[in-house]
């Protein structure tokens, strides 16, 4: 079995409270195959009345998302038509 070294309390207490130089929204995520779940096909989304069904892929630069207010409106219409 590998030997695990446990840091001393003094080492654990060393916390850097300085915020990062870049904002979290400015850091581009790295999508590598095998680190994300693939999107569902539009036919399956249509089957469950999912709003805005379309073909897309996680590594695509543009996900072709609807405007924010349109997506909310579509979800509300779907819920009104098909209450659970």
- Give 53-80 pLDDT, tens digit per residue: 888 888 888 888 777 666 666 666 666 6
Please name the residue that has the structure tokens 């399956």.
44
The predicted structure's pLDDT at residue 10:
92
Helix then strand then coil, in percent of the chain rounded to 5, is 30, 0, 70
Average pLDDT over residues 29-46: 86
pLDDT band at 43 (very low <50, low <70, confident <90, very high): very high
Average pLDDT over residues 21-46: 86
* Per-residue buried b or exposed e for 49-63, using 16+ beta carbons within 10 Å of the residue's own CB: eebebeeeeeeeeee
pTM: 0.44
């Amino acid at each position: 079995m590998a030997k695990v070294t446990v840091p001393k309390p003094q080492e654990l207490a060393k916390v850097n409270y300085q915020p990062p130089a870049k904002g979290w929204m400015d850091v581009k995520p790295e999508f590598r195959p095998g680190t994300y779940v693939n999107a569902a096909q539009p036919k399956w989304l249509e089957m469950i009345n999912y709003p805005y069904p379309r073909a897309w892929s996680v590594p695509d630069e543009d996900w072709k998302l609807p405007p924010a207010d349109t997506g909310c409106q579509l979800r509300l219409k779907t819920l009104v038509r098909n209450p659970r």
